[in-house]
Structure 1
Amino acid sequence: MGKASGNGKAIPRILIVGGGYVGMYTAHRILKKLGKDEALVTVVDPRSYMTYQPFLPEAAAGSLSPRHVVVPLRSVLKRAEVLTARVTDIDQNRKVATIEPIAGEPYELEFDQLVIAVGSIARTLPIPGLAENGIGFKQIEEAIALRNHVLGQMDIAATTKDEKIRRRALTFVFIGGGFAGIEAIAELEDMARDACKIYPNIRPEDMRWVMVEGSGRILPEVRPALGEYTVHELEKRGIQVKLNTFLESCVNRRVQLSDGTKMVASTIVWTAGVKPNPVVQRFGVPLGERGHVKAGATLQVEGFADVWSAGDGAQVPDLANPGKWCSPSAQHAVRQAKQLADNVVAAVRGFEPREYKHKHVGSVASLGLHKGVADVYNIRLRGWPAWFMHRTYHMSRVPTFNRKIRVIADWTLALFFRREAVGLGSIERPRDEFAEAAGEQRKAA
C-alpha cells in the first residue's frame, strides 16, 4: 500500500499515529533497523516536535531553555515521512486512515502496519470555572505560558497599590499531588523565591503557594516515607499542602476547596492526572474500561496482527507484576517503544513478535534547585543526591546527542550565572502593539 520500490514492488507503509515518546522512539528504531526499500515510515502528529515532559518543570523555572526540551521530528526522523496533521478516523477493514492537515482538505492514507501512540491528555472534571481559569501543565507551550504568567503576576504585585490585587497576584494554587504537580509547584516556587531578589517590595513570605491533593498522600509512585518527607520539605518553604481536599469551584478565580478554604488566586494550575486521548474511540480498536487501547504483551492490539499500541494511551499487561497493567510512565514508554519497534520490524520481515517485560526500577523527582527525592532499586535518597540522580537519569534519556549537550550546557552555565527572572507574557500577543499603532493611525487619518 506504500510507494513502489526501484524494482516495482510496493513498499509497505508503517503508519505511526502520534509523535510523542512512543511514536518518535518507535519510528527512530524502525528506521535504524529497516532498509529504505523495506518499508515507508509515516509519522502523523499535530505538533512537529516531541516534548520531553520530565523537563517541563525545569523549563518553566528557567533552568532549561524551552527549545532544549523539545525534539524536532523531521530532524531526528530524516528518512520518515512526517505529517503535521491529525488522524481523525481509521477504517480497519480498508486499512485506511483519514488525515486532517493543518491547512487544506482531509485525505485518506493507506497503511500496512499501524502504530497507535496518541498518548494521553489532561484528565479534567466539570468544576465550575476550571475551563475558564485553569492552566494545564502537559506541553511546552503551557510550561512557557505558566512561567511568563507567574513572573507577570509578580510584576503586577510589585506595581499595584491595591492590596486585594496584590494578594490575588501572589496566590498560586496547584491541583494534583502527583509527580507533575509536585515538581511544577516546587520548581516554580523556587524560581519565584529567587526572583524576589530583584523585586525590593516582594518577600517570599508575601507569596501564598497551595498544593491541593484529593488523596491522603502525595507522590503515590514512591514509598510513603518519601512522600511524607516531601510534604515536610515543601511546608518548610511555606508551601501549604492540603491532603484529602478537592477543588469545588474557581469561578472568577475565587477558589473554593472542600475543606472550607476560600481564596482569590490569579494562578490555578491543574495537574490532577491524565486520561487516554479520546481520539482512539474513532480508530476501530477495542478499548478498556478507562478508554485505553487494549494491547497484549506483544504490544499488538487485541484482535489485530498488524495494529500496535503502547504508552500512556495503551492498556498493556505488566508481566513483571502479574494481574496488573504497566503504569503510564516515561520509563515504560521508552522501553515499550523499543520492543514495539523490534516487533514491527519482525512483522515486516515475517517473524514472530516478542513479549514486553520490564520491572519498574523506581522513580525520581526534583523539588527545585539542588533538592529532590528518589526511590530507585530499593534505595531511598533525599536532597542533593536525589536531585543529582534525577538530572543524571533524565539527561541520559533525552533523545539525540545534540539535545544532551544543550541540556548539559544549560546546567553548566547555571553554575556561574543566575537564571533570568524575565516574564515575556506579551509574546503570546505579539500583534497587540502593532494593532494599537495601526488603529491610532487610522483614527488620525
Structure 2
Amino acid sequence: MNTVTRPRILVVGAGFAGVECVRRLERKLTPGEADITLVTPFAYQLYLPLLPQVASGVLTPQSIAVSLRRSSRYRTRIIPGGAIGVDPKAKVCVIRTITDELIDEPYDYIVLAPGSVTRTFDIPGLTDHAFGMKTLAEAAYIRDHVISQLDLADASQDPAERESRLQFVVVGGGYAGTETAAYLQRLTHAAVQRYPRLDPSLIKWHLIDIAPKLMPELGEKLGRSALEVLRRRGIEVSLGVSIAKAGPTEVTFTDGRVVPTRTLIWTAGVVASPLIATLGAETVKGRLAVTAEMCLPGHDGVFALGDSAAVPDLAKGDGAVCPPTAQHAMRQGTRVADNVIATLRNQPMRPYEHKDLGLVVDLGGSDAVSKPLGVELHGLPAQVVARGYHLAALRTNVARTRVLTNWILNAVAGDDFVRTGFQARKPAKLKDFEYTDSYLTPEQVRQHVDRSRRVEL
C-alpha cells in the first residue's frame, strides 16, 4: 500500500531520453508535487556520439561524461544500479545496485529509458574475441589496446606476429563503426611515425558491413563522399561482407578471406535492453510497442521511449517508428515528461511528433559529411556543422568547454600515444560488458516481488 503522500516518478536510464525527461520534470514540477528517482549505474550521462574520439585520444573520457549532479537541480534521488525487472501490476521495479544488492523500488509512474545493448549474432568466437564500443571503459580499453599492438609489433622479431598486430577490423558501416574506423586509423597513422622500426604500409584497417551501402541514411552522394575519404586514407572498406568466425589471432570473413588480426571491433547495431522483456508486454522487433504518447497500452503509469520503445513516427506515417537516434531520444524525453505531468494534473497528453533535423558524421581532421535540414555538406563546412551540433547537444557549459579545449589542444599539440594501463589486467570483450544474463524473466520478477512482500508482512 502506498503511504507516500506525493506521487513517485521512477525514471530508468540516464541516456539522452532519461536525462532529458528528468531535467524537464525538475523544471516543471513544483517541489511538493512529486518525488523523482533516477536509476543508473553511473551518475553521468555519456555523450555516445563522441565515444570514437575518446577511443582515439582526441577527447579525454571525462569530457563526454556529463555530470548528473552538476546538471540537475538536486531534487532527483539517484539510485546507483541497474533495473533488472519490472512488475507493472505491482508497480515495482527490481534494481541490482552497484554493490550487487537487490532492492525493490515502488513507483506510481515509471519512465522506461534503459537504452540498448550491442546486437550480436550466433557467430563463433564473436563475444569472446571482439571489443564493443558502448561504454567509456570500452573506449579507453580500445585506445590502450591499439597502442599496445604498435608497441608489441615494434618489439617483435616474428613477421607473422607483426602482421596480425598491425591489422585492425571494424564491423559495422553505420555512424559508430565509420567514425571509429576513421578516428582510430588517424591515431595509428600519426603514432607510427614514432616507431621507426615499423613499416607504415603494414598497418591495415578494414571496415566491413553486410549492407550494400555505407551509411545509407546519408543518401547516395554523401555516402559516396564518406567512402572516398576512408579509402583515400587507406582503409579497406568491404560491403556485403560480415564475420563468419573470430579467433584470438585471426578473423574469417563471410567471403572466405582470413585476416590475421588481434583487434576486432564490433559496432554492428544495437537491440533494446533486455529489461524490456521482463514486462511480458507486446514488442515490435524487441522494442516495446507504445502509443504516440509513449504510454504502454494496458499498463497504468508505464511510459517508454528511446532505443527501447517502438514510438510511432507521425512525421513519416505509414506505420513507421522513430529510429534509435539521440535526436529523437532527447525530444521524446521532453514530451514524456510533459505527458507524465499532464497525467498527474488530469490534463490531456500530447503525441510525440518530430521531423528529423539532419545527420552529422565526423571523420576527423577536416573530413566530415553532414546533412542539416536536408542540405548536403562535406569537408570543412560539414566539420564545422558536426562539431557545432555536438557542442550544442552537450548539456553543461563545463562539458562544452572541456570538449572544445580538447579539440584545440589535439589540433595544436597532437597525441602523446600514452597507454594508461587502467584496464590492462581485466577482460574487456563483448561478453564482459553487456551483463545480459543479469535480467530476470517476467515470472522471476513476480516471484521476487511476492517473496519480498511476504518478508515485509
**Contact 2:88 / 2:302 at 8 angstroms: preserved in 1?**
no
Distance in 1 (alpha carbons) for counterparts of 2:3 and 2:365 = 51
Distance in 2 (alpha carbons) for counterparts of 1:11 and 1:429 = 48
TM-score by length of 1: 0.92
Please state if 1:108 is matched with 2:104: yes
**Contact 1:2 / 1:12 at 8 angstroms: preserved in 2?**
no
**Contact 1:2 / 1:40 at 8 angstroms: preserved in 2?**
no
Please state if 1:390 is matched with 2:390: no
Cα 1:220–1:302 change in 2 (3 A) is farther
Please show how residues 146-161 of structure 1 align to structure 2 within 5 Å.
146-161=142-157
The alignment yields a C-alpha RMSD, in angstroms, of 1.6
Partner of 1:346: 342
Distance in 2 (alpha carbons) for counterparts of 1:385 and 1:2 = 56
Partner of 1:187: 183
Please show how residues 248-267 of structure 1 align to structure 2 within 5 Å.
248-267=244-263
Distance in 1 (alpha carbons) for counterparts of 2:60 and 2:199 = 26
Partner of 2:218: 222
Partner of 2:399: 403
Please show how residues 357-376 of structure 1 align to structure 2 within 5 Å.
357-376=353-372
Higher relative contact order (CA 8 A, sep 6+): 2
Distance in 2 (alpha carbons) for counterparts of 1:2 and 1:54 = 41
Amino acid at match of 1:167: E
Please state if 1:21 is matched with 2:9: no
Q: Deviations over 1:195-245 (max 9, x none)?
A: 122122234322010011101111122102211221122111111011111
Distance in 2 (alpha carbons) for counterparts of 1:243 and 1:107 = 46
Please state if 1:61 is matched with 2:56: yes
Partner of 1:76: 71
Distance in 1 (alpha carbons) for counterparts of 2:34 and 2:402 = 33
Amino acid at match of 2:185: E
Partner of 2:455: none
Match of 1:325 among 321, 328, 334: 321
**Which consecutive residues of structure 1, in runs of 5 or more, have no partner in the other structure?**
5-9, 431-445
Q: Which runs of 4+ in 1 moved over 4 A?
A: 1-4
SS at match of 1:317: coil
Distance in 2 (alpha carbons) for counterparts of 1:377 and 1:89 = 40
SS at match of 2:218: coil
Please show how residues 295-314 of structure 1 align to structure 2 within 5 Å.
295-314=290-309
Cα 1:366–1:2 change in 2 (3 A) is farther
Distance in 1 (alpha carbons) for counterparts of 2:424 and 2:188 = 21
Partner of 2:441: none
Cα 1:426–1:94 change in 2 (3 A) is closer
SS at match of 1:167: helix
Distance in 2 (alpha carbons) for counterparts of 1:45 and 1:305 = 23
Amino acid at match of 2:168: F
**Contact 1:60 / 1:146 at 8 angstroms: preserved in 2?**
yes
TM-score by length of 2: 0.89
Partner of 1:172: 168
Amino acid at match of 2:345: R
For these two proteins, the number of residue pairs brought into alignment is 424
SS at match of 2:366: coil
**Contact 1:133 / 1:253 at 8 angstroms: preserved in 2?**
no
Q: Deviations over 1:176-199 (max 9, x none)?
A: 100000000001101111112212
**Contact 1:366 / 1:390 at 8 angstroms: preserved in 2?**
yes
Please state if 1:92 is matched with 2:92: no
**Which consecutive residues of structure 2, in runs of 5 or more, have no partner in the other structure?**
427-457
**Contact 1:73 / 1:82 at 8 angstroms: preserved in 2?**
no
